[in-house]
């Protein structure tokens, strides 16, 4: 199976008043095509920083990131933007929907950015909205949606561009338990039915249990001894690893 993401000796430091602090250190891992990988870690472990590096929103101080064989650090800012547009979709903890746009328009945004024709947009977007059970709210503004609806809209938006890789940053962090469950089921279906490659960062063991493999990020390093592999990851097993790592 080919790798969608290859990370080699990745390092990111943060400048602070007293010097530099390593946020990520010597990080190496791969995400195979069609795999659902979860990276767990406590708050401040560098999970979100890692996602930003993978999305090309930030650049590493050391190491390399290959997205479908393309080295991120060799691309300019616009090159990375186009890579995101074509290959990487994202789902955010805080949804990040445009407050002025309706749900339909939010979902259509990646197509608008890519300059796709309106006809193509409509057919694709309506299908996505229906798929996530949001047809009746298509014209509503984000302020009128519930948290679960907003996150499902956010996932629909992530699928609109047709990218094969999905980076998810604590997608259930702002949702009720029921809404969170629905969102995770949606993500799992994307892996199983659409063959999407998914990288999820979370600190929630229930969310991690939906993945094929779990890596633990502690103090900016991946712990090689506690990697968990599916299928059928049990929440208790994840809890045990977390306890062993004192997370």
- Nearest partner of 235 among 215, 211, 218, 200, judged by Cα: 211
Instruction: Please tell me whether residue 75 binds other proteins under the rule CB under 8 A.
Output: no
Instruction: Please tell me whether residue 99 binds other proteins under the rule CB under 8 A.
Output: yes
Instruction: Please tell me whether residue 64 binds other proteins under the rule CB under 8 A.
Output: no
Instruction: Please tell me whether residue 108 binds other proteins under the rule CB under 8 A.
Output: yes
Among 4, 72, 103, 109, the residue binding other proteins under the rule CB under 8 A is: 109
Q: Which of residues 28-57 bind other proteins (CB under 8 A)?
A: 48-49, 52, 55, 57
Closest CB to other proteins among 71 and 100? 100
Whole-number CA gyration radius for the chain: 18
Q: Token pair for residue 7?
A: 């990370």
We find the least distance from the C-beta atom of residue 182 to other proteins, in angstroms, to be 19
Instruction: Please tell me whether residue 112 binds other proteins under the rule CB under 8 A.
Output: yes
- Helix 103-114, helix 118-131: angle, nearest 10: 140
Q: Which of residues 132-151 bind other proteins (CB under 8 A)?
A: 141, 143, 147
Q: Return the beta strands (E) in 171-230 as ranges.
A: 197-202, 213-218, 221-222, 228-229
Instruction: Please tell me whether residue 246 binds other proteins under the rule CB under 8 A.
Output: no
Can you tell me which residue has the tokens 């029921």? 178
Among 4, 72, 111, 165, the residue binding other proteins under the rule CB under 8 A is: 111
What is the rounded CA–CA span in Å between residue 58 and residue 43?
Answer: 19
We find the least distance from the C-beta atom of residue 161 to other proteins, in angstroms, to be 7
What is the rounded CA–CA span in Å between residue 189 and residue 93?
Answer: 19
Cα separation values, 73 from 7, 199, 227, Å: 12, 20, 28
- Nearest partner of 202 among 8, 50, 31, 28, judged by Cα: 50
Closest CB to other proteins among 56 and 205? 56
Instruction: Please tell me whether residue 235 binds other proteins under the rule CB under 8 A.
Output: no
Instruction: Please tell me whether residue 227 binds other proteins under the rule CB under 8 A.
Output: no
Among 27, 37, 63, 105, the residue binding other proteins under the rule CB under 8 A is: 105
Per-residue exposure over 212-243, b if at least 16 CB sit within 10 Å of its own CB, e if not: bbbbbbbebbbbeebebeeeebeeeebeebbe
Residues facing residue 5 across a β-bridge: 31, 67
We find the least distance from the C-beta atom of residue 159 to other proteins, in angstroms, to be 12
Q: Which residue ranges make up the site for other proteins (CB under 8 A)? A: 48-49, 52, 55, 57-59, 77-78, 81-82, 84-86, 90, 92-94, 96, 98-101, 105, 108-115, 118, 121, 141, 143, 147, 157, 161
């Amino acid at each position: 199976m080919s790798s969608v993401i290859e990370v080699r000796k990745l390092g990111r430091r943060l400048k602070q008043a007293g010097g530099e602090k390593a946020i990520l250190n010597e990080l190496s891992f791969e995400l195979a095509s069609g795999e659902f990988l979860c990276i767990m870690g406590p708050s401040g472990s560098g999970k979100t920083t890692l996602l930003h590096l993978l999305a090309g929103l930030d650049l590493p101080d050391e190491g390399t990131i290959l997205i479908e064989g393309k080295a991120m650090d060799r691309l300019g800012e616009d090159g990375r933007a186009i890579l995101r547009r074509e290959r990487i979709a994202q789902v955010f903890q805080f949804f990040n929907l445009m407050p002025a746009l309706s749900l339909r328009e939010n979902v259509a945004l990646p197509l608008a950015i890519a300059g796709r024709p309106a006809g193509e947009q409509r057919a694709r977007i309506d299908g996505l909205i229906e798929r996530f059970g949001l047809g009746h709210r298509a014209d509503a503004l984000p302020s009128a949606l519930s948290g679960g609806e907003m996150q499902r809209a956010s996932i629909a938006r992530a699928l609109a561009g047709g990218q094969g890789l999905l980076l998810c940053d604590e997608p259930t962090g702002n949702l009720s338990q029921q809404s969170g469950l629905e969102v995770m089921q949606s993500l799992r279906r994307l892996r199983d039915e659409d063959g999407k490659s998914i990288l999820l960062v979370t600190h929630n063991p229930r969310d991690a249990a939906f993945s094929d493999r779990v890596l633990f990020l502690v103090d900016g390093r991946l712990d090689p001894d506690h990697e968990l592999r599916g299928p059928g990851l049990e929440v208790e097993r994840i809890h045990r690893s977390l306890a062993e790592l004192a997370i």
